[in-house]
Amino acid sequence: FVSHNALPTYFLFASFTDCFSPSSKRQTEVRGVAKVEDYTLPAYFDRRESPLPDIKFVQQLSPDQKSLKEKEKGSWAALSKEEKIALYRISFKESFAEMDKGTGEWKSVVAGIFFFIGFTGLVVLWQRNYVYGDVPHTFDPEYKQKEVQRMLDMRINPVEGFSAKWDYENNAWKK
Amino acid sequence: MISAAVMRGIGTLTRTRAAFTAPLAVRCYSHAKVETDEEFDSRWVTYFSKPDLDTWELRKGMNTLIGYDLVPEPKILDSALRACRRLNDLASAIRILEAVKDKSGPHKEIYPYVIQELRPTLQELGISTPEELGIHKV
């Protein structure tokens, strides 16, 4: 297998002049070399299900990091805790604990829900005052009294419902 | 011949095949050979033990192994950690330990057991656990 750890370099032709000299064997003419797009190169991902990504996180190493990488070739017991952490951070962006931690996004979502419910309440209130007119006269207390009396006279639901709760002898609601 | 058929019949009855004695217990599954746990383990130990394993093969092996619905046996992880040592990659070794802990999920007793089994190897190679480095928490 070819190691994929090296920085990607693309050598498409053996020599540069080969591209442009016409030959009887070559069927296609070369118009140029395509620019390598970022999205075509191996990318770094922190994923639980794929713990070792295709590339190291830090691609350009500082001189300190380079010397640390050299030291890594020797005994690992000789490395200090900080050096080991530094080596880990060169290869990886976030540790498992960091990549798994919650974002707290749910708090924003719940806050947004409450906010918009509240806003809707204000809209409904305004609507009641400025859009809807008065309720019908049938809601007036006097009318309602007459309506109840009419229902009792008609013996609405006399067995278990409305009129059943009215005491006709004493002209009051049953206690 | 009749006697030959009878002999054959007796022969099949004397063989203790579960299919004849307990028809309810055996279903008609495919006759493909099922790999035993030991075969699986030894296959993976052999994979990581390859002396000229390269970084791609280590990554591919590890990512595939983590993709399975199991926590790898300590002996497989030992082989993988030694492969990291051959490739001079301490970061991957620590990452492998983190992945094992993550793989155990709610079964919190698996990771301490694995570390306990791997302790001699960790000491020999000088690998620190994520807990020792403090990267096990945010």
ipTM of this predicted complex? Answer: 0.77
Q: For position A15, what pLDDT does the model report?
A: 54
Interchain proximity B54–A3, CB inside 8 Å: yes
> CA-CA distance, B11 to B38, in Å (whole number)?
33
**Tokens 């070559």 identify what position?**
A26
Instruction: Residue B94: count other Cβ atoms within 10 Å of its Cβ.
Output: 26
* Residue in chain B lying closest to A3 (CA): B56
**Quick one: DSSP state of residue B64?**
H
> For residue A126, what pLDDT band results from cuts at 50, 70 and 90?
very high
Interchain proximity A3–B56, CB inside 8 Å: yes
**Min Cα–Cα distance to chain A from B101, Å:** 9
Beta bridge partners of A50: A47
For residue A1, give the nearest of B56, B99, B134 by CB distance. B56
- Specify the amino acid at residue A101: K
Question: In this predicted model, what pLDDT tens digit does every residue of B38-59 receive, in sequence order?
Answer: 999 999 999 999 999 999 999 9
Question: In this predicted model, what pLDDT tens digit does every residue of A94-106 receive, in sequence order?
Answer: 999 999 998 999 9
**Min Cα–Cα distance to chain A from B97, Å:** 10
Contacts of B94 in chain A (CB under 8 A): 84, 88
For residue B62, give the nearest of A2, A52, A87 by CB distance. A52
Question: What are the structure tokens assigned to B60, written together?
Answer: 């591919």
> For residue A32, what pLDDT band results from cuts at 50, 70 and 90?
confident
Interchain proximity B92–A3, CB inside 8 Å: no
Instruction: Residue B60: count other Cβ atoms within 10 Å of its Cβ.
Output: 16
Beta bridge partners of A167: A172
- Tell me how many residue pairs between chain A and chain B have CB atoms under 8 A apart: 94
Average pLDDT, chain A: 88
Question: In this predicted model, what pLDDT tens digit does every residue of A138-156 receive, in sequence order?
Answer: 999 999 999 999 999 999 9
Average pLDDT, chain B: 87
**Min Cα–Cα distance to chain A from B136, Å:** 6
Q: For position A12, what pLDDT does the model report?
A: 53
**Min Cα–Cα distance to chain A from B85, Å:** 9
Are A28 and A12 within 8 A, CB to CB? no
Count Cβ neighbours within 10 Å for each residue of B114-130 and write b for 16 or more, e otherwise. Answer: bbeebeebbeebbbbbb
Contacts of B61 in chain A (CB under 8 A): none
If contacts are CB pairs under 8 Å, which of residues 92-131 in chain A contact chain B? 92, 95-98, 100-101
Contacts of B130 in chain A (CB under 8 A): 95-96
pTM score of the predicted model: 0.69
Best of B77, B94, B125, B129 to disrupt the A interface (most A CBs within 10 Å) is B94
Count Cβ neighbours within 10 Å for each residue of B62-93 and write b for 16 or more, e otherwise. Answer: bbebbeeeebbbbbbbbbbbbbbbebebbbbb
Contacts of A51 in chain B (CB under 8 A): 62-63, 66, 95-96, 98-99, 102
Question: In this predicted model, what pLDDT tens digit does every residue of B103-126 receive, in sequence order?
Answer: 999 999 999 999 999 999 999 999
> CA-CA distance, B3 to B9, in Å (whole number)?
10
Q: How many CA atoms lie within 13 A of B120 on its CB side?
A: 5
Backbone φ and ψ for A124, nearest 5 degrees, come out as -65, -40
Are A83 and A75 within 8 A, CB to CB? no
Question: What are the structure tokens assigned to B53, written together?
Answer: 């394993």
Q: For position B52, what pLDDT does the model report?
A: 94
pLDDT at residue A133 greater than cutoff 60: yes
Interchain proximity B66–A49, CB inside 8 Å: yes
Question: In this predicted model, what pLDDT tens digit does every residue of B91-101 receive, in sequence order?
Answer: 999 999 999 99
Are A92 and B135 within 8 A, CB to CB? no
Backbone φ and ψ for A16, nearest 5 degrees, come out as -65, -35
> CA-CA distance, B128 to B134, in Å (whole number)?
10
pLDDT at residue B24 greater than cutoff 80: no
Contacts of B128 in chain A (CB under 8 A): 81, 84
H or E element in which residue A172 lies? strand A172-173
Backbone φ and ψ for B120, nearest 5 degrees, come out as -60, -45
**Min Cα–Cα distance to chain B from A47, Å:** 10
